[in-house]
Chains A and B, each alone.
Chain A
Amino acid sequence: MIGYLSYFKTRFNAGLQYKVAAVAGLLTQIFWGLLYCSIYQAFYSNTSIPDISFKEIITYVWLNQAFIALIYINVKDVDILKSIVDGTVAYELVRPYHLYNWWYIKLLAGKLSSCLLRFGPILLLGFILPAPFSLSLPYSIISFVLFLISLILGTILLCGILMIIHSVAFFTVNYKGIFSISCQLMALVSGFVIPVPLLPDIVKKITYFMPFRLIGDLPFRIYSGNIGINIALMDILLQFIWIIIIMIIGFSLMKRALGKVFIQGG
């Protein structure tokens, strides 16, 4: 346990080294935030959508940009993939820890440190922006608490999903194709590109059978009150269930991979 904790701290600190990347990321996120705001303004000026109001959408946009590090699926961990491809993973196997936990911690620490470097300035900007584009305060205190809980659970779920995607590298020679395609599709049905309430009905129905909307879409809509407390509690329960399912899949996938692994070269 102490080893895992120590590794988390080390990875978290190492992640905080990348300040230039964080500044670059910040600027990108602010740009996208403003762009999305303008698009939705144009969109909402002619229509009204009963599922989600303009104010809720703007809040969604800024939260999405502020917490992008915690919810964005399409980020590979180059160290992990490289170690699988070039065989450095051999070293991980001569250590007294379980590889699943180890890599999970690396992913989680990376996400948290990356988020810590970015979310403050974006939230601040969102709050000080003038009226139509400004980030609203949480709908209620209970909504805010549930938002925090579901955001944390969403991040835990995301790392579990990423573990499955990364494990695939054990089974293929070139992971890049499968990685890009699956991540794009998952981003689409997670509400990252377009919030789930704005998706076509058929796609919306599909998202409810998948875990991806529980990563970011759920917490952001709880925050703005778009999802009420009762449904929020049900969805948080659903997050727990999906976390267990995803972790069991990832764990057994890795077990299978390590059973048949052969390390090439050297």
Chain B
Amino acid sequence: MIEVKHVSKTFKVLKRKEGLKETLKAFIKREYKHVHAVDDISFTIKKGEIVGYIGPNGAGKSTTIKMLTGILNPDSGTIRVNGIDPFKERRKYVKNIGVVFGQKSQLWWDIPVIESFNLLRDIYKIDNNRYKKTLEELVSLLKLEDIINTPVRQLSLGQRMKCELAASLIHEPSILFLDEPTIGLDAISKLALRKFIKEINKTKKVTIILTTHDMSDIDALSNRVIVIGKGKKLYDGSLSKLKKDFGGNKKLEIIYNKLEEIPKDIKIIKKTKNSLLIDLDGKNSSDVISKFVNICEVKDVNIYEDNIDDIILELYKEYNL
């Protein structure tokens, strides 16, 4: 459905050095530096997938999203979505996509939310009955009943983001691009948003491409992740495989009363007076625990698994990002 082949995008950025002399020099001779925001990236996404697109700041995530949504033209390579070139046939293409940029607003700030929705109905030429049905669904799913008549400028960030999501789905697009949709939201709003995103993916088969810095978003939403760094694709595959390859480290904490001697062949991370933090290093946790039970009085055990943040950090480290 979405095919990206060898896509690159380079930006020319003016080099500015400090100091008056350099500033004056820049009047005569300007120096540019070329930033490879996206460098030879290829992937395909099938209908109904939720794909998490992650990478550190400046990795090229937003640039990719902007190329996929037809805002930017790639310097080389091709993008085809259902056979359409997003940039060349922008106005035809965008009827079929919804976009949320978490840091920007698509609602008109000086009019009530519902008027923004009505305006979108006319922009997308949606049949009125169909519009009413979709609107009703979105309003009840996102619980917008109380805020729909409020001017956008008076909404909280969480409320606004819900309305942004509704606005991006009012024309029932088959692809939804979410660029950092949970940025700045509190825990409750985040959970509500994730639940909603899952729901529409399931019921309406909307393909979702999501960029975020919040790894719990990815954990909760997508089974496939694409990791990019410095414009290059580093990983593309399932989240569980990523966890296995780059994380999967389990740690065991044993709290005991008295320990005479620490068993051999055990990797200790941290030791205190009555506890040990052990790197399991692939060993079976029950084996290790039973070893300890034999030699001391074990009061409690805790097992820690690498969370996704650690895994991503591990991945970045591997590629020197």
Contact = CB atoms under 8 A, between A and B. Distances in A.
Contacts of B108: 10, 14
Contacts, number: 75
A142 interface: no
Contact of A94 (B62, B69, B105, B180): B69
A93 B72 CA distance: 10
A6 interface: yes
A259 interface: yes
A93 B110 contact: no
A266 B111 contact: no
Contacts of B99: 91, 94
B115 interface: yes
A5 B99 CA distance: 23
A10 B71 CA distance: 25
A265 interface: yes
Interface in A62-99: 86-88, 90-91, 93-98
A93 B104 CA distance: 13
A96 B104 contact: no
Interface residues of A, number: 26
Interface in B80-102: 90-92, 94-95, 97, 99, 101-102
Interface stretch (B117-125, B135-143, B226-234, B265-273): B117-125
Interface size class of B (residues with CB under 8 A): 20 to 34
A103 to B, nearest CB: 13
B123 A10 contact: no
A17 B112 CA distance: 12
A266 B62 contact: yes
Given A10-B119, A17-B110, A94 B97 contact: yes
B123 A7 contact: yes
Contacts of A93: 69-71, 90, 94
A261 B119 CA distance: 26
B304 interface: no
A87 B95 CA distance: 21
A91 B104 contact: yes
B43 interface: no
B123 A88 contact: no
B122 A6 contact: yes
Interface string A215-249: 00000000000000000000000000000000000
Interface string A1-29: 01101110010011001000000000000
Contacts of B124: 3, 96
Contacts of B76: none
B213 interface: no
A10 B111 contact: yes
A262 interface: yes
A98 B105 CA distance: 19
A59 B198 CA distance: 66
Contacts of A5: 122
Nearest to A6: B122
A14 B90 CA distance: 29
Interface in A184-218: none
Contacts of A88: 104-105
A26 B287 CA distance: 86
A125 interface: no
Given A91-B104, A265-B103, A96 B111 contact: no
Contacts of B97: 94
Interface in B43-93: 62, 66, 69-73, 90-92
Interface string B17-53: 0000000000000000000000000000000000000
B92 A2 contact: no
B115 A96 contact: no
Contacts of B90: 93
A137 interface: no
Q: Which of B102, B104, B115 has the most CB of A within 10 A?
A: B104
A266 B110 contact: no
Contact of A95 (B73, B94, B115, B179): B94
A263 interface: yes
B13 to A, nearest CB: 10
A94 B70 contact: yes
Contacts of A97: 91, 123
25 contacts: A3-B119, A3-B122, A3-B123, A10-B119, A14-B111, A17-B110, A87-B104, A90-B71, A90-B101, A91-B101, A91-B104, A93-B69, A94-B71, A94-B97, A96-B91, A96-B92, A96-B123, A96-B124, A261-B71, A263-B66, A263-B72, A265-B103, A266-B62, A266-B101, A266-B103
Given A94-B97, A96-B94, 17 more contacts: A3-B119, A3-B122, A5-B122, A6-B122, A14-B108, A88-B105, A90-B66, A90-B71, A90-B104, A91-B101, A93-B90, A93-B94, A95-B123, A259-B73, A266-B62, A266-B101, A266-B179
Task: Sort A-B residue pairs by CB-CB distance and give the 7 closest, nearest first.
Answer: A6-B122, A3-B123, A91-B106, A266-B103, A93-B71, A94-B99, A88-B104
